[in-house]
Amino acid sequence: MDHYVTWRHSLNSIDKIEEKTILELGCGDGTKILLDKFKTVYSFEVAREDEWYKKCKEVYKDCANWHSECHLMKDIAGLVEADDQILKTGGAERKSEALIPFYELLEKFIPTTSVDAVLVDQGFHLRGETVMYFFEKQISYILVHDSTHADAIYGWNKIVCPSNYKLVDGNNTRLYIRTQ
């Protein structure tokens, strides 16, 4: 389990965490840590299969502060093809436009104006682009998992940290904190 929650120590940098709402892209073992720390957790799962989500739904079903939704990648126009292209080209070819329907579904689930923090750990490889989206939305805390490997595959090399954010590096984790 530790690989999946290497970000837990980064949570110490989030002020008044118990009063905050987090959007978790992907759910799993670490969801429990988020549920224990945050006032409200919204888990938005997008994956090729829903088996993992069904397990999480069963484990966390009695948690009053947990809200979740799952979408299969095949049901989001262009997402499987974009992800497959990244894997085929080692990340050299990226179809960021495939994220538009993903963002639309996400905003219907929980408007980003309603969240204080986000954990980027979704089941597909357009993660760097997703971080840039959350910068644009001015999310106060952007926590990024698996940030020390597969730079081109995950698109970490696409991230340009705006001047109103500071970066805190952790163990396989990046935490971007909005400063103004």
Alpha-carbon gap, residue 85 to 103, rounded angstroms:
20
Which tokens hold the place of 120? Answer: 């980027």
**pLDDT: is 6 or 45 the higher one?**
45
Q: Which of 51, 46, 40 is nearest to 103 (CA)?
A: 46
Average pLDDT, the chain: 93
Number of domains in the chain: 1
Task: Specify the CATH number for the domain of residue 126.
Answer: 3.40.50.150
Burial group, residue 59, by CB count within 10 angstroms (0-12, 13-18, 19+): middle
For 33-90, how does the pLDDT look when each residue is reduced to its tens digit (9 = 90+)? 999 999 999 999 999 999 999 999 999 999 999 999 999 999 999 999 999 999 999 9
Domain coverage including residue 53: 2-178
- pLDDT, residue 1, reads 43
Segment 129-144 mean pLDDT:
97
Write out 106-142 in H/E/C secondary structure: HHHHCCHHHCCEEEECCCCCCHHHHHHHHHHCCCCEE
Q: Which tokens in the block code for residue 145?
A: 């998992």
pLDDT at 4 over 80: no
The pLDDT score that the predictor gives to residue 163 is 97
Q: Indicate the helix (H) or strand (E) that contains 153.
A: helix 151-154
pTM equals 0.94
Residue 14 banded pLDDT, cuts 50, 70, 90: very high
